């Protein structure tokens, strides 16, 4: 297997595959962050999470088209506005969905799964009717094209680096909001003991709505970042939803650090294996390993010690 | 609470007679062979729905991987049929005669070892039952013994469905890939494709379905069924009473898997092919929806759910392909939000009282309310 390559080549291969894995890692982390908030904190299984992500991607695509037609001079900076719009659009839809659907189902977590699956089917069809069945891709601004030459044999694409920086930034802000801010404390209080949280004066319904909205909004940002590295179609979200759930469960549902660690290990395993075998077998082996480990350790990598 | 000594109570007996009349008499007499074959296809999902009633409705275990077992059963059957269709005479134009065509296209020159036993029909029938059963046993033991349940179990079964689909699609040379196993022809020399064979297969399937209904009803009526319900409502209390909760869950999950596998095998026979598009996450969740629409607590309801949702799917997606997904999505949400017990719940709430009143007015004084005490309500 290794015979045909020199040691230097092998090193470069591992670095390049590792970098490809890092991009996958970014997508996983961005999607899983929202899901970790919704599933890990609220216990709601949101099967439509992928569709919230795709909404963000479509918003980004529309913004880029608007900038191209009307504001070509500002095109290089459109992405930052698009990201904010994606967050707002997905977050608003998320809050609406929470109000119409989810708030009736907090006591029946398995039923949220079915209801949100229905929602995801409707959203997919809506995207297909509005944007067409074909995949769309955004045009990247000039500064994001090209790649950085690290050494002779190692090149890293700039858009990948950008998505990674974005991931780090968003992860840090989510960690800040959840663990440092007053609002994050309220969210965690509601999760740990809803009745007591209500008794000390927290408006639990409002906290629920904003938490769900925040999770969906982060999914929107994930979709926005996703357009930088791939094209968007009505069913693209569904491709990632199972992987993302596995990432969250594998990390230990309530732990942000666990989510990041599991996203890292899953994406790195997969992209390293992909070099040695076909993509499908790499994925099968990775998922099998995850399921196998979960069977031995159902609480995930980082388990929160709480008394139930 | 009085345990019913009869196998069916009155309303179940009515349900049984209506279903038997529709499936054995009305549909075969009123539909042409093409439509009857479609009904046969819908009924394969009824097997899965029946299993889900036991495992989800009664046991409270939501499995999103029933497509895995449906697929395993279907692939076992399809492998046998494919081998019979790939006899040396039929495949003499291939570079290696006597192996299935997709293997030849993928430069495989001899039959893989795990295909060999599928030359035997006895082995195949055993495999249809045992392979999914054992697989469910392994998953169930690993999960339930560690007290993993609820949403985690649902997600893990879903992941298993994803893995199996990717595996089948990826290993094209051994499984036929994304196209699946097509061009299935004969069963022990008996051609399964002409019209009269389709009719016979339909009746075989209905008989099997009623056998499975009998088994499910038997499980429901015995102490086992009562423990399943008790477990769903108050798992800890059952555990503290000295029952091994995990073993009962494993049993329910395995039964559901075996029912699904029988459905899958009948699918391969009736429809004439098997492909990974019946294995993955989307079909698995659709199977759950058939059960939910029909009523997760009702054996007959789930079967009607499978038939009606599939019928709606065929007719709507023929005429309004865009509306279908909206309709299906709305159906999911409506079932969960508005009527969680599905069609059978609606029946029990609105139609059943009228029928009861009709019977009651003959026997007793009119105005007697037969329904005031729900018979499922546990006394705390």
Whether the CB-CB separation of B20 and B206 falls below 8 Å is answered with no
- B152 vs A122, A280, A298: nearest CB: A298
Q: Given CB atoms, is B288 within the 8 Å cutoff of chain A?
A: yes
Lowest mean pLDDT among A49-53, A214-218, B262-266, B338-342: B338-342
pLDDT surpasses 80 at A306: no
pLDDT score, position B374: 41
Q: Given CB atoms, is A111 within the 8 Å cutoff of chain B?
A: yes
The structural domains of chain A, with segments of one domain joined by +, span: 34-241
Q: Given CB atoms, is A239 within the 8 Å cutoff of chain B?
A: no
Q: Who has greater pLDDT, A279 or A222?
A: A222
Q: Which residues of B touch A115 (CB under 8 A)?
A: 332-333, 336-337
pLDDT tens digits, residue range B267-289? 999 988 899 989 988 889 889 98
Report CB contact under 8 Å: A121, B151: no
Residue B297 CA: distances (Å) to CA of A226, B214, B216, B238, B289: 42, 16, 12, 20, 13
Q: Given CB atoms, is A102 within the 8 Å cutoff of chain B?
A: no
Mean pLDDT computed over every residue of chain B: 85
Lowest mean pLDDT among A149-158, A294-303, B76-85, B298-307: A149-158
Residue A1 binned pLDDT confidence (cut-offs 50, 70, 90): low
Whether the CB-CB separation of A19 and A156 falls below 8 Å is answered with yes
Lowest mean pLDDT among B43-52, B256-265, B336-345: B336-345
pLDDT tens digits, residue range B73-86? 999 999 999 988 88
Q: Given CB atoms, is A100 within the 8 Å cutoff of chain B?
A: no
- A110 vs B151, B163, B333: nearest CB: B151
Q: Over the Cα atoms of chain A, what is R_g?
A: 20
pLDDT score, position B372: 40
What mean pLDDT do residues B323-352 have? 83
Q: Phi, psi (5° rounding) for residue A136? A: -115, 150
Q: Given CB atoms, is A104 within the 8 Å cutoff of chain B?
A: yes
Alpha carbon distance B41, B74 (integer Å): 12
Lowest mean pLDDT among A139-143, A267-271, A300-304, B323-327: A300-304
pLDDT surpasses 60 at B5: no
- B159 vs A114, A121, A242: nearest CB: A242
Mutate to test the interface with A, among B170, B250, B296 (most CBs of A within 10 A): B170
pLDDT tens digits, residue range A203-236? 888 998 999 999 999 999 988 888 887 788 888 8
pLDDT surpasses 80 at B191: yes
Whether the CB-CB separation of A222 and A53 falls below 8 Å is answered with yes
- A125 vs B155, B325, B332: nearest CB: B325
- B336 vs A114, A121, A242: nearest CB: A114
Structure tokens at A240: 């990632």
Structure tokens at B300: 């007959």
Compute the nearest-CA separation of A73 from chain B (Å).
39
Does the model's ipTM exceed the 0.90 cut?
Answer: no
pLDDT score, position B71: 94
For β-strands A147-149 and A155-157, DSSP reports them as: antiparallel
Report CB contact under 8 Å: B337, A104: yes
pLDDT score, position B364: 54
Alpha carbon distance B113, B99 (integer Å): 12
pLDDT tens digits, residue range B103-125? 888 888 888 888 888 888 899 99
């Amino acid at each position: 297997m290794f015979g045909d390559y020199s040691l230097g080549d092998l090193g470069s291969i591992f670095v390049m595959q590792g970098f490809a894995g890092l991009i996958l890692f970014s997508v996983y982390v961005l999607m899983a962050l929202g899901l970790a908030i919704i599933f890990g904190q609220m216990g709601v299984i949101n099967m439509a999470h992928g569709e919230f992500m795709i909404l963000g991607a479509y918003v980004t695509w529309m913004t880029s088209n608007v900038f191209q037609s009307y504001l070509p001079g500002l095109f290089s900076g459109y992405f930052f506005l698009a990201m904010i719009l994606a967050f707002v659009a997905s977050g608003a839809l998320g809050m609406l969905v929470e109000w119409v659907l989810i708030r009736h189902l907090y006591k029946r977590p398995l039923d949220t799964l079915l209801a949100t699956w229905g929602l995801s089917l409707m959203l997919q069809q809506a995207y297909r009717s509005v944007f067409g069945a074909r995949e769309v891709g955004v045009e990247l601004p000039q500064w994001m094209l090209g790649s950085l030459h690290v050494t002779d044999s190692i090149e890293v694409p700039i858009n990948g680096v950008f998505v990674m920086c974005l991931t780090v930034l968003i992860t840090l802000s989510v960690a800040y909001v959840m663990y440092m801010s007053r609002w994050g404390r309220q969210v965690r209080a509601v999760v740990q003991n809803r009745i007591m949280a209500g008794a000390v004066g927290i408006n639990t319904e409002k906290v629920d709505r904003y938490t769900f909205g925040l999770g969906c909004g982060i999914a929107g940002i994930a979709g926005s970042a996703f357009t930088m590295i791939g094209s968007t179609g009505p069913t693209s979200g569904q491709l990632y939803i199972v992987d993302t759930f596995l990432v969250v469960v594998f990390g230990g549902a309530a732990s942000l650090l666990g989510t990041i660690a599991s996203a890292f290990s899953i994406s790195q395993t997969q992209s390293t294996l992909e070099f040695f075998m076909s993509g499908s077998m790499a994925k099968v082996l990775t998922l099998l390993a995850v399921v196998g480990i979960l069977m031995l350790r159902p609480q995930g990598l980082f388990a929160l010690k709480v008394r139930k | 609470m009085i345990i019913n000594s009869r196998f069916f109570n009155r309303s179940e007996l009515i349900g049984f007679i209506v279903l038997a009349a529709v499936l054995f008499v009305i549909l075969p007499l009123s539909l042409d062979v093409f439509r009857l074959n479609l009904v046969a296809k819908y009924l394969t999902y009824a097997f899965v729905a029946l299993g889900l009633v036991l495992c989800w409705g009664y046991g409270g275990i939501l499995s999103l991987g029933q497509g895995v077992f449906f697929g395993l059963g279907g692939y076992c059957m399809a492998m046998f049929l494919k081998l019979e269709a790939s006899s040396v005479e039929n495949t003499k134009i291939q570079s290696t005669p006597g192996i299935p065509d997709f293997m030849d296209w993928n430069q495989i020159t001899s039959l893989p070892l795990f295909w060999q036993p599928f030359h035997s029909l006895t082995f195949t029938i055993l495999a249809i039952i045992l392979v999914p059963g054992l697989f469910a046993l392994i998953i169930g033991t690993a999960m339930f013994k560690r007290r993993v349940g609820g949403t985690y179990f649902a997600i893990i079964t879903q992941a298993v469905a994803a893995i199996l689909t990717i595996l089948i699609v990826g290993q094209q040379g051994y499984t036929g890939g994304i196209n699946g196993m097509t061009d299935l022809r004969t069963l022990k020399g008996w051609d399964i494709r002409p019209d009269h064979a389709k009719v016979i297969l339909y009746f075989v399937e209905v008989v099997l379905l009623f056998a499975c209904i009998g088994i499910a009803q038997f499980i429901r009526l015995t102490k086992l069924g009562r423990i399943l319900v008790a477990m769903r409502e108050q798992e800890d209390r059952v555990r503290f009473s000295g029952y091994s909760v995990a073993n009962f869950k494993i049993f329910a999950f395995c039964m559901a898997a075996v029912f699904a596998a029988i459905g899958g095998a009948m699918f391969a026979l009736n429809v004439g092919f098997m492909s990974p598009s019946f294995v993955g996450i989307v079909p698995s969740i659709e199977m759950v929806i058939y059960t939910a629409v029909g009523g997760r607590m009702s054996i007959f309801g789930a079967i009607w759910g499978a038939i009606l949702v599939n019928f709606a799917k065929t007719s709507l997606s023929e005429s309004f392909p865009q509306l279908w997904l909206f309709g299906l999505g709305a159906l999911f949400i409506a079932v969960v939000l508005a009527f969680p017990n599905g069609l059978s719940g609606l029946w029990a709430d609105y139609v059943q009282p009228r029928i009861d009143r009709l019977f009651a007015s003959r026997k007793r004084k009119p105005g007697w309310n037969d329904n005031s005490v729900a018979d499922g309500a546990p006394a705390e």
